[in-house]
Amino acid sequence: MSKSNKSKIHAAPSNVGAKNKGLSYEEFMVLLLVVAFLLIDFLPYFKSYEIIAPQFLYLTVINLITGLYIYSNPLLHQQSLISIFKQSYIFSAYVGFIVLCSISIFFAKNVSLGVVSIAEIFVVLAMVINFAILFYNKLHLVVKVAFLVGISAFFQAGTVLYNFNVLAENKSVAEALHSNFLKGNAGNINILAASLLFKIPFIYIGIINFNNWKKWFFAIGLLFAAAVIFLISARASILSLIITSIVFLTYFIRVSERKKQAAIQLLYLVLPLVVSFFLANQVLEKAKSDLRFVSTADRLTKVNVNDGSINRRITFYKAAVALAKQKPLTGIGLGNYRVESIPYDLYSDISIPLHAHNDFLELAAETGVFNSLLYFSVFVMLLFINLKRLIKTKETQVRNIALLTLLLLIVYGIDALFNFPFYRPTMQLCFSFLMAFTFVNTEKQIEDKNSLNKKILLGFVALCLLPLYVTYHAYKTSNLEYLIQTDNINFATSGVLKGEDVINRSPKIPNVFQSSEAFVEYAGIYFFREKAYDKAIKLLDSANKINPHLGRPDFYKYLIANERGLSDSAYFYVKSAFYKRPISTNFFETATTLAATRRDTTEILKMYAAFPENVTKPKSWSTAYLSLNNAGYSKAGLNEFKGLALKSFPKDTIVQKTISQLAITNYIVEGQRLFAAGKHQEALNAYKQGLKLDPSNVYVNQNIGFYYFNLSQASAAIPYFKKALALPGLNNGKTEFFLGLCYVNVGDKVNACSYFKLAGNYPDAAKLLEIHCK
């Protein structure tokens, strides 16, 4: 091997020389099909709610086209391919993993979610086999593949940066950081970062292997991709970028005998990383929008248990472990984490957990602990085999492909530990490259004249075709979710769709949306808006069977009962909604308000106790405290409940304000009672006690005004009425009307007329205006 070859990452000289004449048809098709697969990162949403559904449908179609191409091309039907898969422990473990995933579906509460997930796994399996067949005896094409991947990364990252820059210039950097532009076409900033990351090892190969404009092109592509990753500030992605860069630089310097020449080569790699780091941090410094977008260094160094992102992941992990303990052998069923984990993750009222943010824990929960370990073993074997090839193999091409595969493994492995690449098509593309390169990257690859059995080939085409029905219907479901979200039917009184439209579209698979809500729940909401209550209740009951953990179907049944005047049923359903989702402040406030009208203090205390300890917020305490007071709870009980808050939230402003507000209300009520009893001075003292607690309380000032007015002391009443009007909260014209009367009594007709006009439609305001203001 020549010295120049040792400093480059490419195929052996014999292969390179043989290909200088141009591409063969088969080689051209390999590259064309790779381009087709890479296009998933540029697909439009096609009116789907999530990009996942059209991506998996697209991959299914490309797999089928690839399978038909392989079937129709005898040059690819080499019998030796069978031995590659048969002799691979990795492939055997992976197939065993898929079998156990399939079995887990029989133990799932929601079979449709399992069917969709297993269909997606079969899409990936077909993609792995397709890549292995395409690259068998054609690994010399990897440098050209790197060029194609580099183009993909250049345009993917370049588009994101362009849109980001336009928004930052027109609005602000902070808004640009939080906009959808920083998600690209991935649907999520972490997924975008990961999808760019798996392309960076290919870019490194391009930088080392190409010259002239291509080397500069790859350097710019690396700068763009790294800049997006640094802007996103995802810890896992930054960690992957650092590790892959160090591994690649270390290996390249180690194998290069011409160190000076190697150092110059590496400048095309190092400088884009350094420049992108400083440019991204300069942008983040301008924004200072929140703790996430501060600086890359801060994101990596300031990792602590109080970090919201880390806390969320810990909650996800605990939920996955708890579910895995339930059914350690079979799991809860593939794809069912998004529904079954809801009761275990009462952390946020805004969102629910769709994934555990760790593929291995999520798969342990869904398919059993053993199967998760089997899946993990696949990555251990990938690491061991490729490390062995990198260290011990003498052939340059094998070592270089092993290095590339190791870099892909680092990217995918770190993402699997902190995110959910198992369910993301763009990362499954990375996984397919990783697996296929491992299978076919051997020292001795022979041209086998014995063709594969036609039945095997037909079986493979059938494997490519098998997921099509499911991925198509999954797309249709996502399209329906998009239409419903566009209607905003949760808040709008009507939409473009009708209840019957939702039923007629009736997606077969899956029966829940990305939000984990059953589609029949939304059909019920449409019928509720249309006042077709019986149909709505039937569908809401069905939704409860599909996902019993959200409480929303019961809340809509409460609304229906309320509109029908069925108070007992309304109370029952709103309590049921809260106990199914005992973190919802909306459910809690509604339920405690109803409980207060029924003087059901026991239920209020019970509902407050149902809030998880780690998320019992001062606002919830405040709601319960006011409801207990309205329900007539004893003073001793209220004082005890108040003491609970002062102990748990001693410095919280919401708690202090609520305690003050209730005390003021009680002073007002007491003042009104004393005045009615003829104890005028005692009444005034009560009002002034309230005023002492909060001089800007509108109702205290208003009541003192009425106090003086009723004692025929108009001049004393005027300043209190005017102060009350200067504060927010009064809008019925009553205070203006009585202020006008005060001015009549002091002989100021100008002001009297002005306030009678401001009183508007308040009773007798127009009459007095006519009498005094002609």
Count CA within 13 A, CB hemisphere, residue 685: 5
Residue 748's SS3 state is coil
**What is the residue type of 92?**
S
Instruction: Report pLDDT digits (tens) over 324-377.
Output: 999 999 999 999 999 999 998 877 777 788 899 999 999 999 999 999 999 999
Q: Looking at the domain 661-772, which fold is it?
A: 1.25.40
**In this structure, what token pair is assigned to residue 266?**
């590496």
pLDDT computed for residue 13 by the predictor:
31
Q: Determine the pLDDT at residue 20.
A: 45
Provide CB contacts within 8 A for 253, sequence distance 6+. 259, 262, 263, 266
What does the longest C-alpha to C-alpha distance in the chain come to?
115
As a whole number of Å, the end-to-end CA separation of the chain is 111
Taking the C-alpha atoms of residue 320 and residue 13, their distance in angstroms, rounded to an integer, is: 50
CA distance to 187, 508, 524, 529, per residue, from 534 (Å) = 37, 23, 9, 12
At residue 171, does pLDDT exceed 50?
yes
The pLDDT score that the predictor gives to residue 642 is 85
Hey, what are 243's tokens? 């590790």
Where in the chain do CATH 1.25.40.10 domains reside? 661-772
Note the pLDDT of residue 21.
Answer: 55
**Pairwise CA distance, residues 579 & 465, whole Å:** 45
Quick one: average pLDDT of 132-159?
94
Q: Which helix (H) or strand (E) holds 3?
A: helix 3-6
| Per-residue pLDDT tens digits for 95-136 | 999 999 999 999 999 999 999 999 999 999 999 999 999 999
Contact assessment for residue 725 and residue 736, using Cβ atoms and an 8 Å cutoff: yes
Residue 514 has pLDDT above 80, yes or no: yes
Q: What angle do CA 231, 196, 57 make, to 5 degrees?
A: 125
Cis peptide before 510 (omega within 30 of 0): yes
CA dist 582 and 343 (Å) reads 9
DSSP helix/strand/coil, 512: strand
The three-class DSSP label of residue 306 is coil
Percent of the chain with pLDDT over 90: 57
**CATH, domain 488-579, list 1.25.40, 3.10.110, 3.40.50, 2.40.10:** 1.25.40
Structure tokens at 750: 């100008």
